Each structure stands twice: as structure tokens, then as C-alpha cells.
Amino acid sequence: MTTTDTPETVDSFAASGDGRIHGLRRMLFRKPGLTTAAVYGGVGIILLLTVIGPSIGPWLADAGCACGWGSEQIDSGHALEGPSGTHFFGTDRSGQDVFSRVLAAPRINLVIALAATALSVVIGVPLGLLAGYIGGRALAATATSELIMRFMDVLQSFPLFVFAVVLVAVRGQSTEIVIIALTIVNLPVFARLARAEMLTVREQPYADAARILGHGNFRLIFRHLAPNSVASSVATVPMVIGFVILFTASLSFVGAGVKPPTAELGGMIRVGANNMVTGEWWPSIFPGVALGLMVLIFAFAAQDIAARMRAVKRAEGLMSAETSVEAG
């Protein structure tokens, strides 16, 4: 497309459809390809398992199927049995059904991941926006901004794993502590992203334009600057969810995560790892594959969202190029 084409393109964009204007929206919600459908289908399945996963085993039992088990039900008479018609994925060393547990585990993993990610976004993004907005201005404001960011440096400079293990060791093993540890680990990521974007957005010409229209600081930040500063944070969320799932599993694997007998993927791998050397692979491999799939799905989702945002940015850039008149 040449530059001279652009005006018509813009107009046809604006006037398309029923007269409503939806260029941007069309770009964001374009028809999904097969891969995209698979990725979001995967996310959907994980969400579904989060809701009903733990009930599937008992439900199968109620339905009279020989394969139905509760995820925490123990049958020590059948410990370490290989995959069969009764136990699709076999049983672990205490006689728990691996299939039921693999279905039940996403609940705890995802709840931890969502909670920790949400908390780090809710705390980290506003802190970063604040630091970005007030930084480099008056002395007191700059000092506050620096204080926030240097604190983030401190948080980030801890070796993540050691930090989480120590926190769990000190405060005891509980889901809440795991969530708090993971929140602290991810907080700086969002604070930095938000700050970096705010630093550029606050200098944008439309920020000045909003100021001279008499908008107060509050309106300026919440209506004009913040919404324009959160794109990279949003695009990072699915990636962080995947990372947190992996991290939760790692913590459980070293025994600092979720307390057994709650079905949790990392914990299951840990329990099964002892039997791997003697040839009973199933208690570890199945939860391992499940874990890998979950992380992979969220990584793909992150990539997809980032690609969509790039497409929108590019489209906007293309349409703006033609108006690059000198700004005094």
C-alpha cells in the first residue's frame, strides 16, 4: 500500500459495514485459524477441568463405572498398579488413582496461578504506573518513584526459588503462602512493564492535549494515560500464568508447595519420582505431560495475544503515517 492510498483506505475502514466503525475490533477478533482455535480450546478445557475436574472421578464411580475414583481416595491394596481398564493411568505408591488425580489437579494449579498473577497485576501495574507518572519530576516525587523501583529491584534480585522456599519454610506450607510467594516473584515484572510504558505515554502529544483541556491529574491518569500504558502487561499475563503453574509445580516437587494429599501436578510427579527407577513410570509421567501441556497452552495464548496487539499497532501506524504533519 502506498502512502497516497492511505486516505481512501482509512475512509473505507471508517465507513464499512452498517456504518458502525470497527476497524480495530475486527483486527482483534478476526476469524480464528485452526491453531488459534486449538489454543483457546485448550484454555477452555483447562478452565473446564478447574471447575469440574475433581468431580469427574467420583461421578464416574456413581455412574457405575469400575474406573471411578476420588482424587484423594486411597486403596493400598492396589498400590503401583500399571495403567489398566480400571485405572487408566495406573495407581501411585499409596494406591491413589493417577487418572482421577490428573483430572483434579488443574484446579489447584490454576487457582494458584490465577490468584498469584491477578495479585501481581493488581499491585504491580498501579505501582509501576505511579512510578512512571511521578518519576523525574519534583524531588519528592522522583524519590518516591525511585524508592518503588529500587524495591522492585530488591525483590527481583532474590534467587526466585530460594526466596519462595524460605518463605514457605518460615510461614509454613499452605496454598496462601505459595500464592504470596509467587505474587512477590512476579510483582516486579508488571511494575516494570507498566512503568516503562507510562514513561513514554505521559510524553505523548495527546497527554499534553488532555492537560490543556483542563482535565485534572486523576482524569488524565485514569482516562488517558493508564489505558494506553497497560498493553504489554496484558500481553504478558498468559505467559506469567504458564510460568506460575510451572513454578508452583516446582515448589511442590521440592516439598515446599501444596500440602499432600491435595492433587497437585508437581506433588504427584514428586511422589512418583521415587518409583521411576524401579520401572513404575506412570505416577510421574502422566502428571508431567499434563503440566507440560498446560504451560504450553498458556505460552501459545500469550504469543497469540502479542501477535494480535502487534497487528493492531501496525494498522494504527499505517493509518497515522499519512498525517505525520510537523508537531511544533
Partner 1 sequence: MLEIKNLTVGLPSRAESGFDTMLEDVSLSVEAGQSLGLVGEAGSGKSLLVHAIGGLLRPPVVPIGGEILFEGQDLLSMPPDDRRLILGEELSLVLPGGRIRLNPLEKVGRQIVRVLRDHHPEMAKAEALERAIQLLDRVGIPDPDKRALAYPHELSGGMAQRTVVAMALANSPRFIVADEPTTGIDVTIQRQILEDFAGLIREDNVGLLIVTRDLGIVAHFCDRVAVVSEGRIVENAEVRTFFKEQQHPVSQELMRATVLERQKAAEWSAAAASR
Give the one residue of 1, 19, 34, 63 binding partner 1; rule: CB under 8 A. Answer: 19
Residue 236 C-beta: closest distance to partner 1, Å:
19
Residue 152: CB partners within 8 Å, gap ≥ 6? 127, 187, 188, 191, 192
Task: Tell whether the torsion through CA atoms of 166, 169, 175 and 177 is positive or negative.
Answer: negative
30 contributes a contact to partner 1 by CB under 8 A: no
Which span sits near partner 1 by CB under 8 A: 93-101, 183-191, 223-231, 236-244?
A: 223-231
Residue 105 C-beta: closest distance to partner 1, Å:
39
Query: Could you give the string, one character per residue 269-308, with x where binding to partner 1 holds by CB under 8 A and - elsewhere?
Result: ----------------------------------------
227 contributes a contact to partner 1 by CB under 8 A: yes
234 contributes a contact to partner 1 by CB under 8 A: no
Residue 296, C-alpha cell as written in the block:
504450553
162 contributes a contact to partner 1 by CB under 8 A: no
Give the one residue of 5, 17, 21, 38 binding partner 1; rule: CB under 8 A. Answer: 21
Q: DSSP readout, 212-248?
A: HTT--HHHIIIIIIHHHH-HHHHHHHHHHHHHHHHHH
Q: Which residues of 139-178 are buried (b: 16+ CB within 10 A; e: fewer)?
A: eeeeeebeebbeebeebbeeebeeebbebbeeeebebebb
Contact 239, 233 (CB under 8 A): no
Contact 315, 30 (CB under 8 A): no
219 contributes a contact to partner 1 by CB under 8 A: yes
HSE toward the beta carbon, residue 124, CA cutoff 13 A: 30
Residue 313 C-beta: closest distance to partner 1, Å:
10
Q: Residue 72 is which amino acid?
A: E
174 contributes a contact to partner 1 by CB under 8 A: no
- Which residue's entry shows cell 511422589? 271
Nearest 5°: the CA angle 24, 298, 43 is: 80
For residues 179-198, which are near partner 1 according to CB under 8 A? Answer: none
206 contributes a contact to partner 1 by CB under 8 A: yes
Residue 22 C-beta: closest distance to partner 1, Å:
9
Residue 32 C-beta: closest distance to partner 1, Å:
23
Residue closer to partner 1 (CB basis): 119 or 196:
196
**Residues at the interface with partner 1 (CB under 8 A):** 7, 10-11, 13-15, 19-21, 23-24, 137, 204-206, 208-216, 219, 223-224, 227-228, 315-316, 319-320, 322-323, 325-328
